[in-house]
Amino acid sequence: KRPAGAPDKALARPVTKVGVVGAGLMASQLALLFARRLGVPVVMTDLDEERVAKGVGYVHQEVDTLLAKRRVSPDKASFLKRLVTGSTSKEGFADADLVIEAVFEEMSVKQQVFAEVEAVVSPEAVLLTNTSSLSITEMASRLAHPERVVGFHFFNPVAVMPLLEIIPGEHTDEASLATAFATGRALGKTCIRVTDSASFVVNRLLGRFMGEYSRIVDAGTPVEVADRAVAGMAPMPPFVLVGLVGPPIALHNSETLVRAFGDRFYLSPTLARIVAAGRRGYYLNDERGRPVPDPEVEAL
Ligand code: 3HC
């Protein structure tokens, strides 16, 4: 029996090559996941050689870690390194069946990226977006084929977190949705179909948790005390999580939620200060990788 909202598997198209737009941390984690789980060539693109080299370098480094942990054989490790390539041009997407974007979280940037991708790919190629909060319908609205766009929202760290939110927009057709579901399952993720509304489901729930945490801290409870309370209910303190997902993304998510749902959500001045100061989060990692408060943030 099909789970609620899942499309007919028979409509899914085969995926033999994947394009990834962006070579940042999220995009690189995605490139590795697609190569490892689908075993198909993955080409990553970004604006300049330096970013592309950094993204490919990240993938190679993670493959080396998997090799050291004996999670992949030496043969598989060199195979994966060959599968993931990078370029500053999107020409390599011409024969891709699937392209996923993980670029800056801004509607106009993502629309522009999809327009550029559409100019290169075949009419049947499915376009996935890893947006964490933006409208899928609006993102697709300027394309010649808006029916091929599907939201495909992963969680950090991508290799570890099992969930994948799959979001059809108003125009998304069943074949694109079926391809997205089949791909999500092949990637080993638990796929849920969610509605195209601000921040979908997980980030909306998480936004309330993070917001209340920030309110408690901003009202004077020391972070260490709040974190001991959190340890009773969540795997990771909120400000550590902010460091993991990136402060600008966390702030953007709060802004989207406040815009959509008003004062049910909270814009934390602490988070805004962390972003304005360009810090990585409330914490830095010590030499053993454990989180320690960043003195520069504490002084803000
Ligand atoms: N990248 C890759 N692998 C990682 C990783 C990373 N950044 N961090 C941890 N891992 C791996 C470890 O290597 C380890 O794998 P192994 O078993 O092969 O050695 C495994 O995860 C478990 O790690 P640890 O034993 O070191 O630590 P924990 O047991 O504490 O688990 C955690 C780490 C899974 C990250 C856990 O702390 C957790 O679940 N945190 C919450 C994460 C979360 O809520 N994510 C959602 C964020 S919201 C989001 O992403 C949406 C976006 O739109 C903002």
* ipTM of this complex prediction, to 2 decimal places: 0.95
Q: Verify whether ligand 1 is closer than 6 Å to residue 172 (CB atom).
A: no
pLDDT of residue 258: 96
Q: Verify whether ligand 1 is closer than 6 Å to residue 129 (CB atom).
A: no
66 and 154 fall within a common domain: yes
Q: How many domains does the chain have?
A: 2
Bridge partner residues of 85 (DSSP): 43
57 and 169 fall within a common domain: yes
Q: Is residue 23 part of a domain?
A: yes
| Strand pairing category for 84-87 and 42-45 | parallel
Q: Verify whether ligand 1 is closer than 6 Å to residue 161 (CB atom).
A: yes
Of 164, 193, 222, the residue at which a domain comes to its end is 193
Q: Which residues, 6 or more positions from 297, have their beta carbon under 8 angstroms from its beta carbon?
A: 273, 274, 277, 279, 281, 282
Quick one: tokens of 52?
A: 């592309």
**Residue 58 belongs to what H/E stretch?**
helix 49-68
Q: Domain with 135 in it: what CATH number? A: 3.40.50.720
Q: Is residue 4 part of a domain?
A: no
pLDDT of residue 40: 98
Distance separating the N- and C-terminal Cα atoms of the chain:
55
Q: Please say if the pLDDT value at position 102 is more than 90.
A: yes
How far apart are the CA of 71 and the centre of ligand 1, in A?
16
How far apart are the CA of 80 and the centre of ligand 1, in A?
22
pLDDT in tens, 261-295: 999 999 999 899 999 999 988 888 888 888 888 88
Q: Please say if the pLDDT value at position 69 is more than 80.
A: yes
pLDDT in tens, 129-155: 999 999 999 999 999 999 999 999 999
How far apart are the CA of 33 and the centre of ligand 1, in A?
15
Positions marked catalytic? 153
145 and 184 fall within a common domain: yes
63 and 157 fall within a common domain: yes
136-173 exposure pattern, b = at least 16 Cβ within 10 A, e = fewer: bbebbeebebbbbbbbbbbbbebeeeeebbbbbbebbb
Percent of the chain's residues with pLDDT above 70: 99
In this structure, the number of other CB atoms found within 10 A of the CB of residue 77 comes to 17
Residue nearest to atom 5 of ligand 1 (CA): 157
Of 162, 193, 224, the residue at which a domain comes to its end is 193
Give, for ligand 1, the residue of 160, 213, 242, 285 to mutate: max count of ligand atoms closer than 8 Å to Cβ: 160
Q: Is residue 52 part of a domain?
A: yes
Q: Is residue 53 part of a domain?
A: yes
Alpha helices (H) along 87-191: 107-118, 136-140, 174-186
Residue nearest to atom 50 of ligand 1 (CA): 155
Q: Verify whether ligand 1 is closer than 6 Å to residue 210 (CB atom).
A: no
Range of the domain at 58: 9-193
Q: Domain with 268 in it: what CATH number? A: 1.10.1040
- Taking the C-alpha atoms of residue 281 and residue 239, their distance in angstroms, rounded to an integer, is 7
Instruction: Please give the average per-residue pLDDT across 89-96, as a whole number.
Output: 97
Residue nearest to atom 30 of ligand 1 (CA): 235
pLDDT band at 297 (very low <50, low <70, confident <90, very high): confident
pLDDT of residue 4: 63
Amino acid symbol at 19? G
pLDDT in tens, 36-65: 999 999 999 999 999 999 999 999 999 999
pLDDT in tens, 151-208: 999 999 999 999 999 999 999 999 999 999 999 999 999 999 999 999 999 999 999 9
User: Which ligand 1 atom sits closest to the C-alpha of 249?
Assistant: 54
Q: Which residues, 6 or more positions from 210, have their beta carbon under 8 angstroms from its beta carbon?
A: 238, 241, 242, 250, 254, 268
213 and 167 fall within a common domain: no
Name the packing angle between helices 49-68 and 25-38 (round to 10°): 50
How far apart are the CA of 265 and the centre of ligand 1, in A?
26
Q: Is residue 198 part of a domain?
A: no
Q: Is residue 262 part of a domain?
A: yes
Residue nearest to atom 4 of ligand 1 (CA): 157
How far apart are the CA of 121 and the centre of ligand 1, in A?
34
Q: Please say if the pLDDT value at position 2 is more than 70.
A: no
User: Which ligand 1 atom sits closest to the C-alpha of 253?
Assistant: 54
Percent of the chain's residues with pLDDT above 90: 87
Q: Verify whether ligand 1 is closer than 6 Å to residue 23 (CB atom).
A: no
Q: Please say if the pLDDT value at position 214 is more than 80.
A: yes
Q: Verify whether ligand 1 is closer than 6 Å to residue 241 (CB atom).
A: yes
Q: Verify whether ligand 1 is closer than 6 Å to residue 163 (CB atom).
A: no
pLDDT of residue 33: 98
Of 140, 171, 193, the residue at which a domain comes to its end is 193
Q: Verify whether ligand 1 is closer than 6 Å to residue 152 (CB atom).
A: no
